[in-house]
């Protein structure tokens, strides 16, 4: 397997810059994400997360949506400089809660946040680093792990904007359960683009026991 996957340079460089430019922050997009989190967080009624880390927030559509429906302290780790700049300039995150980097190395202590999550990010992680990324997400979370990704019952590599080795579908929910015996499924479902203003994705919410 590749020791320096193509995805690392792609998402931190010009390819990632173009992705950031496409992800315009609009009222409709933020409202869609608020609607998404308004569906998910009630599953944790009675013990909601007080702190939440997003791995790969880009310009922060999920974080902006979360801020509209939750008082949780928000964190992020993002490889793309243009996206980090926008997160800071727009006041989505303060500098001390925004890290430069990828999910396979998160500069936080074990159990540092109540929930860690990805949304459309695991699909872009090279298979050689997928387990390491999922282990880091699991490690830094004290209570909950969430992901919303393109689903496939078996691993698939998909051509993405004319590029190879930058998009990988999988059954990420099963991967989490197979890797971590201390995770139990709280719920799972489907986000429909027509109502969420985000790509059609399958989501899984897990609790640590």
User: What is the C-alpha to C-alpha distance for residues 73 and 65, in angstroms, rounded to an integer?
Assistant: 13
The domain that holds 183 is classified in CATH as: 3.40.50.150
| 15 half-sphere exposure, CB direction, 13 A CA radius | 15
Evaluate whether residue 157 is within a structural domain: yes
Tokens of 79: 């490889």
pLDDT digits (tens, 9 = 90+) for 51-77: 999 999 999 999 999 999 999 999 999
Q: Which helix (H) or strand (E) holds 98?
A: strand 98-100
Among candidate residues 103, 174, 175, the one with its CA nearest the CA of residue 139:
103
pLDDT digits (tens, 9 = 90+) for 148-168: 999 999 999 999 888 888 999
Give the residue with greater pLDDT, 164 vs 133: 133
Is 56 in a helix, a strand, or coil?
Answer: coil
Answer whether 131's CB lies under 8 Å from 179's CB: yes
Evaluate whether residue 1 is within a structural domain: no
Long-range contacts of 152-157 (CB under 8 A, 24+ apart): 155/127
Task: Give how many domains the chain has, as a whole number.
Answer: 1
The radius of gyration of the chain from alpha carbons, rounded to an integer in Å, stands at 16
Evaluate whether residue 146 is within a structural domain: yes
**What is the reported pLDDT for 87?**
98
pLDDT digits (tens, 9 = 90+) for 7-39: 788 878 888 678 777 878 999 999 999 999 999
Evaluate whether residue 71 is within a structural domain: yes
**What is the reported pLDDT for 180?**
98
Domain of 73 in residue numbering reads as 6-208
Q: Tokens 């999550």 identify what position? A: 117
Among candidate residues 100, 105, 97, 107, the one with its CA nearest the CA of residue 125:
105
Q: Tokens 């009624």 identify what position? A: 45
**What is the reported pLDDT for 206?**
98
- Average pLDDT of 90-109? 98
């Amino acid at each position: 397997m590749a020791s320096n996957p193509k995805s690392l340079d792609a998402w931190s460089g010009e390819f990632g810059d173009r992705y950031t430019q496409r992800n315009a922050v609009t009222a409709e997009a933020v409202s869609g994400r608020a609607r998404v989190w308004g569906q998910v967080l009630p599953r944790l009624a009675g013990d909601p997360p007080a702190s939440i880390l997003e791995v790969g927030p880009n310009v922060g559509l999920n974080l902006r949506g979360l801020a509209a429906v939750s008082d949780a302290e928000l964190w992020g780790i993002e490889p793309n400089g243009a996206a980090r700049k926008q997160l800071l300039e727009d006041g989505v995150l303060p500098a001390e809660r925004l890290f430069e980097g990828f999910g396979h190395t998160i500069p936080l202590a074990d159990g540092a946040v109540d929930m860690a999550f990805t949304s459309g990010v695991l699909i872009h992680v090279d298979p050689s680093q997928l387990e390491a990324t999922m282990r880091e997400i699991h490690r830094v979370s004290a209570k909950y792990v969430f992901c919303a990704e393109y689903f496939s019952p078996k691993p698939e590599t998909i051509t993405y904007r004319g590029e190879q080795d930058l998009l990988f579908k999988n059954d990420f929910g099963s991967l989490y359960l197979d890797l971590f015996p201390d995770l139990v499924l709280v719920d799972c479902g489907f986000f429909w683009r027509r109502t969420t203003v985000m790509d059609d994705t399958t989501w899984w919410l897990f609790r640590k026991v």
